[in-house]
Structure 1
């Protein structure tokens, strides 16, 4: 009996301990719940909001000329190397032609042969003309037959035809000879413009192909580095916001500490599609940006990042970007939803299924979250314009991201982060 009493007492004390521990735990959880969600806050303020479209691309000169030869042959002279500054009509390359000299001799011989043929046929024309006159006089006096007259006339006409043909042959030979002589003069290549040699791809002794035969060998590139552009690819969703004359801020990877000003001068009308037909398909439009404050350190082909300022609204109400979120207000306007409202809510949701959820912000209302509908405008990288729904000096909840985007509900208790609590008062 004593053992049973002892066992009962132990069980009783264990139950009491469980109840006490449970009560303490519940009290701690309730205390933490009562403290509310930890958040940061910021005051609504006025500022200038500039909408930015970002893109990446390359630095390229406004004018760049590829230098090739019309004649094929061996490079026997080079007048410039990479990085050299050249002037208009400065000799760049001289080529010893492989075929020009041979062709020149052939066409000169052909022209001489054609001239000899003309002289021979001309003499034949004179002879047949004299025969025709003689036979014609005899035919009139009936000392020559009709057959003899017709034969003399035919011989004269044939000689005239051969004479005209030989003249045509001579003209063709002379024309071909002139063309070869022109090609012979083009074995020396001169600079077509002032600029800098940005690329030289041949060396002395190399054989090059001329453009007279095929595409030809590119030997050099000359660029005017005094006028530079940034060629960037802008996403199809952003291109509608970009217009001629927009200001751009260009940052070159090689000059990370310097921001270069540019102006949009051209926007492509045709798209560039990368990875067509795949899940990674991307559609961009090329935008040309003229570099205004050119830097001598810029080089063609340098990578760059560009921020195009497409629109600016000045002195407008704004809040941090992370303060604005979306909510299905039917489920968030009240912490308790009765079964009688569920059907109406579902019907309302179906009607609004194709509509964009309304934008909202949460205000700090005596340590309670107050959800307010807002109309937004432009945004930059940190703030977004508020067109309606808020007044200046109101205090919005700006973080954390999870709290604003998911956790907070209208009327929920909040706890202001002590490190951020009075930040807005210092502004």
Structure 2
């Protein structure tokens, strides 16, 4: 190959390399534009919800304990049994109560006989007083005999009153012994299902007459079930009595239940006290309107409480809303809550617009001020919205904007 030909090849190669370098340089200049996605501002129905977790519990549950102590000699139910009001559940051996009843019955009978004897003595003293009084009036009895008759009458009357009081006391003790004997049998106070049985036949129990007593069983009305959930302290001001809720149960993932808030606790529940993870929540009860027979007390559940719904309001996707802090501003106003903004697409550039927001659901947030229906709002990516975008920066729309607004949520 001649030297002239080699020189031309060398010059051509250098030219190609230069063209490639310039192409890469100018193409790098074009990457300053940020790739984004956009969506128009639309009118929607926004339903604000509060999420909470908890357990399924019966609305009414009764804990039963015996007032009498002793051995269980009869146990007529098992856990899961359906019972009716007034049905016999447990019977405790009545030996001690029966002997006490017999003792008090004998004491009452003795007091009755003493009272009758005292009454007869008083009646005789009264008759004697009447006879001596008549004799004294006629002059056939002395003043001393009259005084003696009066004294005897007063003493007989006092003995009769004391005997009558003792008889009433004995009768009261007898009635108490009868009541104690009746407490050895435990009956169902309501219709329901035995959800917990803590004792067995032959077991000895302690009655509530002495101390706290032994819990025997629990009866619950499973026809009315509630979801008892813990709502975070930041969300509890949003929840009101009568709010509707959608409840899902982990054990029945294919079904959801509709409920109504019936009770909101005023006393907080504090978890992990004294740590950085301390949590303050309030208990909320939701009555299920369509319970399922498969539901059981204690099942884990999740609730979405619908606290407020607004119709036909301007809304944008949640990810389109962000905040911007002016790091150059060190005044007191800068230390306040930073403004809420969105970025709109304006002829290939991003424009930052300050907005006032309202309620939100899982996907969209209400815009009260700052935007108009149909305005193209930048909705992604999250990295671009949260960090890259600035007012006036060039942007490239990755997908065509949707021009036909869609109604509803």
Structure 2 residue aligned with 1:374? 355
Cα 1:52/1:29, change in 2 over 3 Å: farther
2:292 aligned residue (290, 295, 298): 295
Structure 2 residue aligned with 1:350? 332
The answer to whether the Cα contact below 8 Å between 2:379 and 2:385 also exists between their aligned partners in 1 is: yes
2:393 aligned residue (406, 412, 424): 412
1:72 aligned residue (69, 73, 84): 69
Quick check: 1:198 aligned with 2:198? no
CA distance in 1, matches of 2:149, 2:112: 26
Q: Provide TM-score, normalisation by structure 2.
A: 0.83
Q: Provide TM-score, normalisation by structure 1.
A: 0.80
CA distance in 2, matches of 1:166, 1:287: 60
| Secondary structure of 1:168 counterpart | helix
Quick check: 1:63 aligned with 2:44? no
Cα 1:28/1:83, change in 2 over 3 Å: farther
Quick check: 1:315 aligned with 2:312? yes
CA distance in 2, matches of 1:359, 1:404: 12
The answer to whether the Cα contact below 8 Å between 2:374 and 2:403 also exists between their aligned partners in 1 is: no
Provide the aligned length of Structure 1 versus Structure 2.
387
Cα 1:245/1:130, change in 2 over 3 Å: closer
Structure 1 residues 151-180: Cα deviation after superposition (integer angstroms, max 9, x where no partner): 443333122111111111111111221222
Deviates more, 1:56-65 or 1:103-112: 56-65
Structure 1 residues 58-95: Cα deviation after superposition (integer angstroms, max 9, x where no partner): 21112222223333222222222111112222222222
Question: What 5-or-longer segments of structure 1 have no aligned partner?
Answer: 1-19, 332-341
Deviates more, 1:173-182 or 1:301-310: 173-182
Quick check: 1:189 aligned with 2:178? no
Aligned-residue CA RMSD (Å): 3.2
Structure 1 residue aligned with 2:369? 388
TM alignment of 1:78-157, pairs within 5 A = 78-129=75-126, 132=129, 141=139, 144=142, 146=144, 149-157=146-154
Structure 1 residues 314-343: Cα deviation after superposition (integer angstroms, max 9, x where no partner): 233322211111124x67xxxxxxxxxx7x
Residue 28 of structure 1, CA deviation: 5.5
CA distance in 2, matches of 1:118, 1:233: 65
The answer to whether the Cα contact below 8 Å between 2:376 and 2:401 also exists between their aligned partners in 1 is: no
TM alignment of 1:245-260, pairs within 5 A = 245-260=242-257
| Secondary structure of 1:237 counterpart | coil
Cα 1:278/1:135, change in 2 over 3 Å: farther
Structure 2 residue aligned with 1:233? 230
Structure 1 residue aligned with 2:3? none
| Secondary structure of 2:372 counterpart | coil
The answer to whether the Cα contact below 8 Å between 2:56 and 2:299 also exists between their aligned partners in 1 is: yes
CA distance in 1, matches of 2:376, 2:240: 36
Residue 139 of structure 1, CA deviation: 6.2
Cα 1:326/1:167, change in 2 over 3 Å: same
2:164 aligned residue (167, 173, 177): 167
Structure 1 residues 244-263: Cα deviation after superposition (integer angstroms, max 9, x where no partner): 22220101121223221111
Structure 2 residue aligned with 1:286? 283
Residue 278 of structure 1, CA deviation: 5.4
Structure 1 residue aligned with 2:4? none
CA distance in 2, matches of 1:279, 1:407: 33
Structure 1 residues 9-30: Cα deviation after superposition (integer angstroms, max 9, x where no partner): xxxxxxxxxxx99xx69x7598
The answer to whether the Cα contact below 8 Å between 1:74 and 1:98 also exists between their aligned partners in 2 is: no
CA distance in 2, matches of 1:57, 1:163: 68
Cα 1:32/1:204, change in 2 over 3 Å: farther
The answer to whether the Cα contact below 8 Å between 1:35 and 1:415 also exists between their aligned partners in 2 is: no
The answer to whether the Cα contact below 8 Å between 1:72 and 1:99 also exists between their aligned partners in 2 is: no
